[in-house]
Structure 1
Amino acid sequence: MKRTLLNIFYNAIYQVFIVLVPLITVPYLSRVLGPKTYGIYSSVNNTTQFLMVMCILATSYIGSRTISRVRTFGTDQELTEAFWGLWYYQAIAGCITIALTIFVCVAFKVQYWSQLLLMVPFLISSQFDISWFFQGLADFGRVVLKNTLVKLTSIVLILLMIKSPADLWKYLLIMSITTMLGSLAFWLDIHRYVGRPTWHFYQFKTTSKAMATLMIPQIATQIYTSLDKPILGWLSTSTQVSFYDNSQRISNMLLGVITSISLVIMPKMAAQGAKEQKTVLKKSLEATVMLGLLFMVVVMANTKQFVPFFFGEKYLPMTSLMFWFTLTIVLIPTGGVFANQFALANGKDREYAIPVVVGAIIEIALSWFLDRDFGASGAMVAILVTEVVVLVLRVAVVRQYFDFRYTFHDVPYYVLIAALTLIVGLIWPNFIPSAFFNMTVKSLVMIAVYTGLMFVFKLDLNQDLKVLLQKAKGRVHHDS
């Protein structure tokens, strides 16, 4: 249990770092680049995110669960064969995707083609990203340490080199090259874990079938999580894209923290039996909902002050967008409990695929009808409706494999606690002149109210929290 919690902590840091660099630099870049230029970056970046899926295939999911099982039940030689045999899929797919991207950009001069070429190092980074191997080994500390220096370097370079909208190309190059270096850093220690390269794919027939099955939901997911920005830019303006993209940044950072639970627990569940999975699933859902609702209401209560403070006065039109986008902090990771931790961990790839394919169809249809007339607001409605449908379907398709009443027993109480806490945050007076300190005080009060209400309702998760606190207290006394 201690190792699992430590890995959740390490992976939370890693996931936050993925989004932390743009988050730290956003107050600076939003003012230097302006909404229009920043919107161009958003469109280019999200197109690249879609292409990265083609480079990775479904290796991140299949690799994590495969390495976890081999680590638990296999030999060192099988671990070597699994790593190299899985990465070859990634290497070949990356070469093909990168070559096609360069060809299309140069031959057809698609929209923002020159900026897309600057993002080729991003595609190379996905080709060499083997974080799935370390996730399967449950070795997250090494991943975090390797990437911290790279991420901090990119922040320094951005602050030193980006001075005006004309420097967009520099920003793209800095982000893509540093990301590439972060992926290559994983390879420095790979010899500690595996032997010399093998020259064959790992369980070719089985793995290829799983790759093909999971590629469909991967592409579908990217349609409504990455291509929604380029679609909005095509149907509306780059300024609307900027409002839409930036309104999700805080939510995405918090999502990185919460979804780290899924990334750690998925390989853990893959190595357990059905009886143990029942308890783990319930505890994971409760922890996910508890954290998600807490983060959601705190951000909601502070949105009105946060937008002008963090992004600048030019971004005031996105205030309502950011308020409602916080719903994704709960919707996405809750669905992830049943998709990543349960369906994928148990090899139920079909059940994993169905919800996101349906979601992609709904997203495209709603975007087509809403984006042109309503801009960023229409895109927000489209994505929220999509996420609700995906969540419901993710629970429904695996409903027969778990006890619904047992698993969801405490969830309604957390919803009530969150609603009461949000009311406190919305009526809390802004009596401190400094926006930063006012938001800090309000957030601390809301956290105290939320935590207090949890113990008033005597929820099951409370006992786990008490045990953790007692262990931490005992460790402090022991060390002293």
Structure 2
Amino acid sequence: MLKNIFMLFISQGVNYLVPLILVPYLVRTLGAESYGEFNLALSIILYGCLFIDFGFNLYTTGEISKTENKEKIRHLYTVTIASKFLIFFPVALIIIFTVNNVSQFDNIKSVCYILIIQMLSSVISTVWLYQGLEKIRIYSLVNVVVKLLMLPMIFTLVRDTNDINILATIQSVSFLLSALLLITIAKRYDIYLVKINFSDIRSILSSASHIFTGTISVSLYTMSTPIILGLVNTAFEVGQFSATDKIRGAFISIFLILSNVIYPRINKLKVDNEFLAFRFIKKITMIQFFLGLTFATAIYYSAPYIVINYLGSEFQESIDLLRLMSPMVILVPLSVILSNYVLLTWNYKKYYLCVPLITCIFHFSYIIPLSHYYGAIGSGIGILITEFISFSLLLIFSLKSGMLRKIYES
């Protein structure tokens, strides 16, 4: 596990050092409006990726982590990829139809078409395999190499506002290359495609559906916000929001990427010794809370310095936006602990599904008017309210289930 965590931190460093280097270059080269258009197109494609992933990153990871039978792993490997291919085609057609029939998307059609390659990469991406095998260091190494190759290409080829399609091409091809490399490496571990039946696909879709319902509801209020902002406001406001969100995401993802190691480990501990699993969760919670509090405080007080020096004077509005987002560095990691490590692992599916559905309903009741009247700031306020509601509900359900008491007593 320590090797996996070490490699994940290296990967995380590169994974977020690259965007942190690129964002100030891109916002100055493309401008806030074109940068906003790119992120609007990317948000649409990531929506498609969400449907394609269908909860497999958690479900298949959990199933693989529970077995050492190579035949079963090959079967899960094949069924998961086949299921994702089955979902890809209708999702791609819906996206093509949408961008061709919604006038607000006229300027981003070509970008969306190119980024569909990234969506195809999501089909053959096998990060869940390496998570389940607890060999995430392999995924991390591939990710580092591809990211470092992508960086000089963007600096060389993306030179002005007309190069938005080139940026989309470089990003899409890098994701495809990473996915193909991971499939090739899997063969060295004697993991390859095997014969399956359609009933196998139907079965895994049914099993993963409860996770998908939870993740789609959460993502409706996270990934849809730039799209809603682009529909009811301007691409400039999308640029303000997206650039600031990259900074917030860099801090939060330090915690989220660790979950790729922590989640399968908790599943193993639950089977071997439930008491140790509770103790492990307790330790992780304390560490993440104090780290989150430190990061949030640093972000809040250094926001003017970060925005002016990092994004430029065109992003003055982002100072208040970044301060609004700072509490999320505490709320989001704690919500992941309660939802994925506690409720999902101990099979409280009703609670796991209920929380994102409720928060999604709340979110859409205020995000549209907030985004329309207050732009990027309004979107930031909406997401902060939603994250607080989500954490509060998860805390209530974890108390109601008795799981928090077991963690506290461990």
1:246, distance to aligned residue in structure 2 (A): 1.3
Q: Which runs of 5+ in 1 are unaligned?
A: 410-459, 461-480
Q: Distance in 2 between matches of 1:374 and 1:100?
A: 30
Structure 1 residues 183 and 204 mapped into 2: Cα distance closer, same or farther (>3 Å)?
closer
Q: Which amino acid is the alignment partner of residue 14 of structure 1?
A: S
Q: Which residue of 1 aligns with 2:397?
A: 397
The alignment status of 1:122 with 2:122, answered yes or no, reads: no
Residue 104 of structure 1 deviates from its aligned partner by 4.6
Equivalent residue number for residue 276 of structure 1 = 276
- Mapped partners of 2:119, 2:154: distance in 1: 20
Give the Å deviation of 1:379: 0.7
Aligned to 1:211: 208
Q: Which residue of 2 aligns with 1:309?
A: 309
Cα 1:275–1:199 shift into 2, 3 Å = same
Q: Give the aligned length.
A: 404
Note the 1:79-478 alignment, pairs <5 A: 79-105=73-99, 110-111=105-106, 112-200=108-196, 207-273=204-270, 274-402=274-402, 404=404, 407=407
1:64 pairs with one of 61, 64, 70: 61
Change (3 A) 1:13 1:49: farther
What are the within-5 Å matches in structure 2 for residues 27-38 of structure 1? 27-38=24-35
Letter in 2 for 1:284: I
Please list the CA deviations of residues 273-316 of structure 1 after superposition, one character each: whole Å capped at 9, or x if unmatched. 32122101101111111221111112222111111111111111
Cα distance in 2 for residues equivalent to 1:363 and 1:12: 33
Q: Is the 8 A contact 1:61 1:344 kept in 2?
A: no
- Aligned-residue CA RMSD (Å): 2.2
C-alpha contact 1:258 1:291 (8 A) present in aligned 2: no
| Equivalent residue, structure 2, for 1:426 | none
Contact 2:15–2:143, Cα closer than 8 Å, also in 1: no
How far does residue 126 in structure 1 lie from its aligned partner after superposition?
0.6
Whether contact under 8 Å (1:258, 1:288) holds in the other structure is yes
Identity over the aligned pairs, expressed in percent? 20
Amino acid in structure 1 at the alignment position of 2:184: L
The answer as to whether partners of 1:213 and 1:349 remain within 8 angstroms in 2 is yes
Residues 1:395 and 1:8: Cα distance change in structure 2 (over 3 Å) = farther
Question: 1:296, 1:327 within 8 Å by CA — same for their partners in 2?
Answer: yes
Structure 2 CA distance for aligned equivalents of residues 18 and 352 of structure 1:
29
Q: Is the 8 A contact 2:136 2:261 kept in 1?
A: no
Deviation at 1:39, TM superposition (A): 1.0
In structure 2, the CA distance between the partners of 1:340 and 1:14, relative to structure 1 (3 Å rule), is farther
2:120·2:176 contact (CA, 8 Å) conserved in 1? yes
Deviation of residue 205 (structure 1)?
6.2
Letter in 2 for 1:63: T
SS at match of 1:197: coil
Partner of residue 71, structure 2: 77
Post-superposition Cα deviations, 1:161-199, rounded to whole Å, max 9, x if no partner, equal 111111111111111111221122111111123444222
Greater RCO, CA 8 A, separation 6+: 2
Counterpart-to-counterpart distance in 1, 2:59 and 2:13: 23
Separation in 1 of the partners of 2:293 and 2:37?
Answer: 32
User: Do the aligned partners of 2:131 and 2:261 also contact (CA within 8 Å) in 1?
Assistant: yes
The 2-side partners of 1:20 and 1:210 are apart by: 37
Q: Distance in 2 between matches of 1:222 and 1:403?
A: 25
1:425 corresponds in structure 2 to none
Q: Which amino acid aligns with 1:351?
A: Y
Structure possessing the higher radius of gyration over alpha carbons = 1
1:45 aligns with: 42
SS for the counterpart of 1:138 is: coil
**AA matched with 1:360:** C
Contact 1:11 / 1:260 at 8 angstroms: preserved in 2? yes
- What is the rounded CA distance, in whole Å, between the counterparts of 2:15 and 2:401 in structure 1? 33
- How far is 1:158 from its partner? 0.8
Q: For residue 194 of structure 2, give the secondary structure of its aligned residue in structure 1.
A: coil
Taking a change above 3 Å as real, the CA distance of residues 313 and 408 of structure 1, as seen in their structure-2 partners, is farther
1:473 corresponds in structure 2 to none
1:442 alignment counterpart: none
Q: Is the 8 A contact 1:300 1:323 kept in 2?
A: yes
Partner of 1:449: none
